[in-house]
Amino acid sequence: MSRRETTSPPPLIPPEIRQLNGVVREASVPALAPPVTHGSLADIPFDNAQQAPAEAVLSRKGQDGRWTDVTAAAFAEEVLAVAKGLIAEGLMPGDRLAIMARTTYEWTLLDFAAWAAGLVTVPVYPTSSAFQTRWILQDSGAVALAVETAAQAAALGPERDRLPDLRHVWTFEKGHVQHLAELGRDVPDEEITVRRGMLGPDSLATLIYTSGTTGRPKGCALTHGNFFAEVDNAIELLHPVFKSISKDPASTLLFLPLSHVFGRMVAIGCLRARVRLGHAPSIQTEDLLADLAGFRPTFLLAIPYVLEKVFNTGRATAEKMGRAASFDRAANIARRYGEAVEAQQHGTGPGPSRALRAARALYDPLVYRRIRAALGGKVRYAICGGSPLGRRLAAFYAGAGVQVFEGYGLTETTAAATVTPPLKPRLGTVGWPLPGTKVRIAADGEVMLRGGQLFRGYWDPQAGGVTPASTDGWFPTGDIGNLDADGYLTITGRKKDILITTGGKNVAPAPLEDWLRAHPLVGQCMVVGDNRPYITALITLEPDGIAHWCRMKRKEHLTAAELVNDPELLETLQRAVDEANKLVSRAESIRRFTVLPVDFTEEAGHLTPSLKLRREVIARDFGDEIEELYAKPRG
């Protein structure tokens, strides 16, 4: 049976709960998929080719903008050819091959080809500096590097003398991947069979380096078995996403970086489930919308920023047309509808009333269909991670016809450790433990994780390989959270980010920051207050949102310095801060804020490649602005 054919979903098993003194301390869900006992990720393309050779497993965008399907047989043939080319170039089993590129077809092709040749792949963010790239190549001992552009290869030039292990640099845009395929023509197919046979679930598959919010990035050693435990259980749990319950075969357009474990996991999961996968290298709004319209996926992998952007763009368009009030009513209807459906699924409410259903039907062609059209037209599901989406936005999308499955995880857990269970959402949480996973809350509130997807440890070349990160099987995440009575996890902040005011109040900045960042005028927000008398915030402006606001207010003439002090803008942002403050107590609320004339960017060192705040760098670079917030008496 094709994996795309509709099958009955497995029964939804609720978490087993353990309490201590009336507080839920642990939740676990048994695995839905049996553990893989032999073979590796390298086998996936060849298994697909044997079981369903004519089935489209990928689509590739041509120079003319059209998408062409790639069958399982054709992909396996390409993987085999490139793998033989890697062998012809002298790469040996266990050698590390680094890949530095945007989200492209060649990335996934080279990933599977490297595994078929017995190699270990090392992702490098395409935005990394030459120093960052050199550090990862040095630390991993990479013998080869594949980059997307000649400019990336040239940028590494000054660092080459510090990389004695690096013997090869290949460039996608110069056709080097195809050259590898041609180079390996004389290598017998049996050599690939032998190398694949040497791999098992415990074999090292990849070294993924953490973003490095503090200190140097660390290489997380993930095995083939880690990925199998992750994707096999995710595929079974998210049955309507990966196996499709509609007439449209499941498909997704991947635009998040393959350098990040989240995007990589879904790419592997799609090949494993034979879900048609496309790649979108550009996340510029116009480019991405065009790719979504051409590919028309049934589900998306997203971070909250993308879903916020779609919502805010829809609202800005409506305002430009003089229909802002109508959009706001539609958004409110969608949220109420989503919350009513949630209550019905949990048995705590009757579901949407007849009047609410009628109102939703009225606004569907006017608003909700336009939102879905911006995502390609066929999207019914989104898997969202990276940071909390928030109850308001999750409820809106549910009411607008897009079910969002929120997840939580780390590089160390091969992406998701918890996920929203189908038909049992609890908006504002990150769901239940992924089947096969256990979640524990330590005495200090730290989230601890255990499961088959938990990494082997951190790469340590000085120690001769991998240093285990846990002695008892439980991994301390550094995140603070809590479990409710039904086993749903809520993340409230980072342990190291907890602010302690001079009054002794502990403040988790994440809820305030996430709420404010969802505002259409706010780009980034950093809450400040450690060892200070009260809480303040640095706010940056969202370029598209503020450009629209300036047009509507006829203030395009204002310079950046004038804009950040504009009374009307400050009044609008103060209302947003007041709304955010409703989430917390008076002692935890933002008393003052300042608007910065520049945004936090990765290039300036303020953000990691996965858009996390580098707090120490921001506090250093905007130290004067922070001091000013505490120099003036509060009004």
DSSP 208-251: EE---SSSS--EEEEEHHHHHHHHHHHHHHTHHHHTTSSSSPPE
Residue 209 contacts residue 219 (beta carbons within 8 Å): yes
- The structural domain count of the chain equals 2
Average pLDDT estimate for 424-441:
94
Average pLDDT estimate for 340-360:
95
Closest Cα to residue 614, out of 624, 627, 601?
601
Start-to-end C-alpha separation, the chain: 69
pLDDT at 53: 98
pLDDT at 163: 96
Banded pLDDT at 336 (limits 50, 70, 90) = very high
How far, rounded to the nearest angstrom, does the alpha carbon of residue 198 sit from its chain's CA centroid? 32
pLDDT at 1 over 50: no
Banded pLDDT at 6 (limits 50, 70, 90) = very low
pLDDT at 628: 93
Residue 298 contacts residue 252 (beta carbons within 8 Å): yes
Closest Cα to residue 513, out of 440, 598, 600, 416?
600
How far, rounded to the nearest angstrom, does the alpha carbon of residue 254 sit from its chain's CA centroid? 11
Q: Is residue 616 part of a domain?
A: yes
CATH of the domain at 188: 3.40.50.12780
Average pLDDT estimate for 344-354:
94
Rounded distance between C-alpha atoms, residue 299 and residue 273, angstroms = 14
Q: Where are the beta strands (DSSP E) in 501-545?
A: 506-507, 522-528, 535-541
Closest Cα to residue 380, out of 359, 405, 354, 363?
405
Closest Cα to residue 261, out of 212, 220, 218?
220
Rounded distance between C-alpha atoms, residue 183 and residue 135, angstroms = 30
Q: Is residue 23 part of a domain?
A: no
Q: Is residue 109 part of a domain?
A: yes
Characterize the bridge pairing of strands 23-29 and 16-20: antiparallel
Q: Is residue 24 part of a domain?
A: no
Average pLDDT estimate for 426-444:
94
**Domain span holding position 95:** 41-199+251-279
User: 271-285: per-residue pLDDT in tens?
Assistant: 999 999 999 999 887
Residue 405 contacts residue 420 (beta carbons within 8 Å): yes
Q: Is residue 610 part of a domain?
A: yes
Residue 569 contacts residue 545 (beta carbons within 8 Å): no
How far, rounded to the nearest angstrom, does the alpha carbon of residue 14 sit from its chain's CA centroid? 25
pLDDT at 401: 95
Banded pLDDT at 8 (limits 50, 70, 90) = low
Q: Is residue 28 part of a domain?
A: no
Question: Following DSSP, what letter does each residue of 467-487 receive, concatenated?
Answer: E-S-SSSPEEEEEEEEE-TTS
pTM of the full structure: 0.87
User: 471-497: per-residue pLDDT in tens?
Assistant: 788 999 999 999 999 999 999 888 888
Q: Is residue 367 part of a domain?
A: no
Average pLDDT estimate for 12-23:
93
Residue type, 376: G
pLDDT at 5 over 70: no
pLDDT at 217: 82
Q: Which residues contact 325 (CB under 8 A, 6 or more apart)?
A: none
pLDDT at 4: 44
Please give the backbone phi and psi of residue 598, each rounded to the nearest 5 degrees, phi first.
Answer: -130, 160
pLDDT at 427: 86
User: 505-534: per-residue pLDDT in tens?
Assistant: 888 898 899 889 989 999 999 999 998 999
pLDDT at 634 over 80: no
Rounded distance between C-alpha atoms, residue 336 and residue 399, angstroms = 7
Q: Is residue 409 part of a domain?
A: no
Range of lowest pLDDT (404-413, 563-572, 625-634)? 625-634
pLDDT at 2: 41
Domain endpoint, select from 279, 295, 327: 279
CATH of the domain at 597: 3.30.300.30
As a whole number, the mean pLDDT across the chain is: 92
pLDDT at 348 over 90: yes
Domain endpoint, select from 279, 296, 326: 279
Question: Following DSSP, what letter does each residue of 41-52 receive, concatenated?
Answer: GGGHHHHHHHH-
Residue 460 contacts residue 474 (beta carbons within 8 Å): no
Banded pLDDT at 503 (limits 50, 70, 90) = confident
Range of lowest pLDDT (72-86, 209-223, 374-388, 410-424)? 209-223
User: 143-181: per-residue pLDDT in tens?
Assistant: 999 999 999 999 998 999 999 999 999 999 999 999 999
